[in-house]
A = this chain, B = another copy of it.
Amino acid sequence: MRKSTLEEVAAAAGVSKMTASRALRGAADVSKKTREKVLLEAERLSYVGNQLALSLSSQRTNLVAVVVPSMLNIVFPEMLAGISAGLQGSGMQAVFGISDYDMAKEREIIRDMLSWRPSAIIVTGLDQPPETVRMLQHADIPVIQLIDLDGTPVDFNVGLSHGKAGEEMAAALLAAGRRRFGYIGCGLERDLRAGKRKAGFEKVLRENGLSFQHERVDGAYSSIAHGKQLTMSMLAATRDLDCIYYSSDDMATGGAFACLELGISSPGEVLIAGFNGLDVARALPIRIATSISPRRQMGEAAATLLLSASRGNPPSEKVIAFYPEITGID
């Protein structure tokens, strides 16, 4: 069955398209009687407005484009949930795209999304290649780069410094007396933020005359199973370690499982340190150290920011900085 149009609703109600349009949008100056008649006919005809026509005509959409690298790492869905919640009630609608950590794919997704003329766009990270940056600049809408703060934003920037997060974790672990460090990570060539954390961590180690004594890094996607496997491998090779820093909490959770299976006392003998503050890491039977990243709040902050921007209240600050809280040490 063909979808009915505003014109048909208007005809059925015996008014013009314009009056029907006003009635359906709840405009003030429509007589009560007319409004009710229009709403009744719309209901009877199962009328569903056409956003394509609406947006084309009014030159604005209620769309916010969001591009994330993955759905398989829970932090991104959590961020999306934050964005979605922050947009709640504003009439804005988030549209998500997944780039699979692939810059070329990200560029194509952004291009696709821009062709829908969204009111704003949120992308992950600050490390887009020049061509993508150019597209974003040309889009002439608020651009929010989310999660990371280490770099030069195109427009708005909401996130935390991953370099600093690594530094602070290293400092906290040193202060707690740990000295013999290992590193276990995954997909650093894709997950640039994990790389920044590692670099920050290493910087502080170096300043203290130390370095990672053992490393296991491979190109696979971050996962619990992988963290477990790499930890097993490292602990089979050496026990001369009192702390392992992981690229993220899922990897660290795998590390905790490895310790449990091997019967290695943790945090006593080896302290496991991750990043994110995932639920799973907090419920673990052994205590692990982590930096809690407020990803839901970052999503909400981004939503709030772009709502005020698109309402013409230019936010005073282009950058909103968050600070991860370190837990699980002592």
Contacts and interface: CB of A to CB of B under 8 A. Distances in A.
A51 B117 CA distance: 8
A78 B84 contact: no
Nearest to A68: B77
Contacts of A112: 93
Given A50-B117, A98-B84, A116-B52, A71 B77 contact: yes
A254 B48 CA distance: 45
B52 A117 contact: yes
A177 to B, nearest CB: 26
- Report the copy number of this chain in the oligomer: 2
B50 A140 contact: no
B61 A72 contact: no
Nearest to A286: B260
Contacts of A46: 134-135, 138
Interface in A1-51: 1-3, 46, 48-51
B280 A280 contact: yes
Given A117-B52, A283-B225, A1 B138 contact: yes
A121 to B, nearest CB: 12
A59 B15 CA distance: 26
A95 interface: yes
Interface residues of A, number: 56
B55 A84 contact: no
Contacts of A2: 140
Contacts of A78: 71-72
Interface in A261-299: 261, 279-280, 282-285
Contacts of A111: 48
A71 B61 contact: no
A56 B72 CA distance: 34
B260 A280 contact: no
Interface string A77-107: 1101100100000000111111000000000
**A52, A95, A98: residue with the most chain B Cβ atoms closer than 10 Å:** A52
B224 A253 contact: no
Contacts of A188: none
Interface in A160-215: none
Contacts of A282: 225
Nearest to A262: B285
A140 B228 CA distance: 49
> Sorted from nearest, which 10 A-B pairs have the closest CB atoms?
A71-B77, A260-B285, A71-B81, A77-B77, A52-B56, A51-B115, A46-B138, A224-B283, A261-B285, A51-B116
17 contacts: A48-B135, A48-B138, A50-B115, A51-B116, A51-B117, A52-B56, A52-B61, A72-B78, A74-B74, A77-B77, A80-B98, A94-B96, A95-B96, A224-B280, A224-B283, A253-B283, A257-B285
Given A50-B117, A51-B116, A56-B56, 15 more contacts: A1-B138, A2-B140, A46-B135, A48-B114, A48-B138, A49-B115, A50-B115, A52-B55, A52-B61, A70-B81, A72-B74, A76-B77, A84-B98, A93-B112, A225-B283
